[in-house]
Amino acid sequence: MAGKRVLVTGSGTGIGRGIALEFARQGADVVLHYAHSDKGARSAVAEIRALGRRSEAFAANFDRVDEAVGLGEKAISFLGGIDCLINNSGITLNKPFDEVTPEQFDLLYHVNVRAHFFLTQRVARDMLTHGGGSVCNLTSIHGISGAPEHSVYAGTKGAIIAQTRTMAVELAHKGIRVNAIAPGWIAVENHAKAVPGYSDDETARVAAEKIPVGRVGTPADIAGLAVFLCSPEADFIIGQTIVADGGTASLMSLISDFRNRSQNSFGKGYVPGV
């Protein structure tokens, strides 16, 4: 990533901040984005500059397309162009399907899908002027698995997966690679705000029981993958959504305990050795 120019959206906290810092550690110059508080983004900028890399943070409200596109233009101006775009910014909502309002629906699709679409469009036009680049979209396992009260959020994440495939096949021959990452349960600041009685100890206990790898994920688990997908080593990976969830989506929910051998005997009587 030495000398690469990177824009990471939603990078004031959590996964986005971790991705921005990892790109800088690998030699990239990085523009960060935040929607509201600039505290986390500004502290990340300071860390990146301490590494000897160029960095700045810009605000943009992704409910407005003009601000999303404007973010791209500011980043291009500051960096002199963009080689890697990480579309991480997003908001979530849990609410029963029959209680969702049109305003809530529109907000999630505006921020999670529409803003990324038109930001990517603007950045891709810049990439085409200097030989191409890479786009990495952050989706979620909500886009491939069902969870109660997440119909709107899951819909936006499924849309990102579909857009990733289509953008990829349209842009690959022009030198722009597009892929996505679908994280599972990643411990970020928002969980402490949204989950009543949240604690690290309880999170670790639940993760040990529910996630095959036995732990909750961290931003570092996603950051390294994002860097890889934007690197020359991933040059033949096009339009893919890489699931990084500790095995969550691979586990069939009907299986009650994946640690102990099943006492069932499916195949008995007609499969040899059962």
Catalytic residue flag (residue 157): yes
Q: Which of 4, 34, 89, 157 is catalytic?
A: 157
Catalytic residue flag (residue 34): no
Q: Which of 11, 89, 151, 153 is catalytic?
A: 153
Catalytic residue flag (residue 270): no
Cα dist. 13→41, 90, 270 in Å? 7, 12, 55
Q: Which of 55, 134, 140, 151 is catalytic?
A: 140
Q: Which of 39, 198, 199, 262 is catalytic?
A: 198
Catalytic residue flag (residue 153): yes
Residues with catalytic function: 140, 153, 157, 198
